[in-house]
Structure 1
């Protein structure tokens, strides 16, 4: 047995989406593998996936695991299907292993009835939105070009009002063209118990939008100040809490920061075992492993060279990252954001300057808040020109 155990199982319940967001990296990006896969996960795929998850939990004596019901838009598979599969996994894992289930949805298909089914089935609801207003979500349209915001806002508020214990929160991708504080405050109107801000997927060969002068880092700093100055009482913000924990020497549980071992795996609608979808923003087939739940165990995925490379810790990082005093907090940034054609993933993050800006800012605020934190926070180097880090690129896997 090799590698760190998987603890997050992302299962594609439905391979299509009822929206056609113009910026979607999955359906509009370089990867085209979704086109040849079935729209829905068949019962035998779900049955075998549940068995494989239980097998992995037993082999690694897992006390808990995360089950992420994903898509596409997973609610296209039906709320009853989602809860039935969740129950199947819970019934099969060993005694003493807790399954934390969540559905990642665009909220447009949420109704009071579906919320009740999910809540009764012990499935929490995580909503993906670009912001808390129609203007923020103008690029989230259906296949006829109609806006998704009215249905999405209605769904999110239904979760807040009728299923608060099952409402996990909102995930938002940073749009550096929008006002950061206004975006944050608009999301608060949807009463999320937690927020998570993600950097838009991009890399050195396909830079993200508005990528210049650490604009994304500045955007996040502005939101952090608004959240921090309010006493962190309005909602939890995962990215900020993870950064604070790492600055204080505590472990992190996010792919975007820190050096914790990578622990997520994807099962596609046809049963294929893949790496996370974010890699599909790099090139066609980047998440492919050649494995599937009918013929292979998740331990076989742990031994896959690409997965092993992601679990190699600092050994997999670029020389610049290994020498950086922010390494323990930054962790090299999100793996997908390190890609550069011809040099693989052994590069600093395309958001290197942004991450340094954010970490330095949070460290300064934390140090001013408590003298103890001042000695714990690492010194940070000057933010470099983001293009200069490739003056002497490392050898990559491809």
Structure 2
């Protein structure tokens, strides 16, 4: 493996910094970081122009043949589908010839209409949807600013993508919730026909533990195991689940790229609505300013962001991990877990994941399933530090 720094290949651009929903658990707007309040609601044309130029510059400098452009927020569709399309075209114009820009908008689906989807599709932008499940009760905490449920509009939008624009459907992102039945939640999401499903652990850390967390139990790991067994029993044909596929690949010694598992170098960067260059939003669940770099697209290129200590630490594989992680037999699969989940006030991010026990439970379960040992799959080894 070459020495770091590794170039950025995923550019998350905040085209709109506000959201039309007020989800009660949102780490971005309800968490410890409040920097969003001082930033403009919408990225200006000047910010987007400079961002496109910096992305093109980085792609050319590193000879990238493909990159991911994630149009994000807040709720990015508040900026308008046409504006998202124009910006995506601008990025494609400024990268080197032969570099493919894979564009995705991550949305709560409430603002999706046939006209907007047609515009996104025309500009080659795929649609990723964030939901808590495929029924109203599972999305009860996803409400608008007046406290009204978002599910009716989100369901209409999700079904519209699945039925009328399947070629533009990137999939669904959902956060695990031990308060909800795992298999029923999974099956409710299948009803929305996602080509891919991303299952994420809720953001939390040692100083601010995630919901339902108990260091003596593995409720999140158990939840994932239950869904894995349902998916595995169906022959893995119903949909792709990225976390599961990446875990399987890593267990087999194959390369895999995910923030939650493995030692693949970190390659994502964020541009805020004011042009600030930041690390990923998940760090904002730790403390105020955790994602900041002090850089912006007007005065700095992305290579300067690669040299930021936080980015460098995330590109140094096992070197930046806690000693207990480096000594763990699951190191190459777990990779220390998600970086944001390692935080502890006073010691920073050089700790095992707050989900250490859950990850051990899940990884060992998957390994046992692959080995054809259901008895071993039911046992959990190791304890969180």
TM-score under structure 1 length normalisation: 0.93
* Aligned residue number for residue 394 of structure 1: none
Q: How far did residue 332 of structure 1 move?
A: 0.2
Matching of residues 1-398 of structure 1 within 5 Å:
3-212=5-214, 213-368=217-372, 382-384=381-383, 386=384, 389=385
Ranges in structure 1 where 5+ consecutive residues have no aligned partner: 375-379, 390-398
Bigger shift: 1-10 or 167-176?
A: 1-10
Residues matched between the structures, number: 378
Q: Distance in 1 between matches of 2:345 and 2:234?
A: 43
Alpha-carbon contact 2:221-2:362 (below 8 Å) kept: yes
1:382 deviation in Å? 2.5
**What is the Cα deviation at residue 381 of structure 1?**
8.6
1:337 to partner: Cα distance: 0.1
Following TM superposition, the consecutive aligned residue runs of length 4 or more in structure 1 with deviations greater than 4 angstroms are: none
User: Equivalent residue of 1:258, what SS?
Assistant: coil
Q: Which runs of 5+ in 2 are unaligned?
A: none
- What's the CA shift string for 1:43-80, capped at 9, x where partnerless? 00000000000000011000100000000000000000
**d(CA) in 2 for partners of 1:339 and 1:354?**
16
Bigger drift between 29-38 and 308-317 goes to 308-317
Aligned residue in 2 for 1:396: none
Aligned CA-pair RMSD:
1.4
Q: Distance in 1 between matches of 2:22 and 2:158?
A: 19
Preserved CA contact (<8 Å) 1:15 1:72? yes
Asked whether the 8 Å contact 1:6–1:263 carries over to 2, the reply is yes
SS of equivalent residue, structure 1 residue 291: strand
**How far apart are the structure 2 equivalents of 1:254 and 1:113?**
33
Report the secondary structure of 1:100's partner residue.
Answer: strand
CA distance in 1, matches of 2:51, 2:347: 34
Distance 1:302 1:92 in 2: 20
The 3 A distance-change label for structure 1 pair 19 and 381 is closer
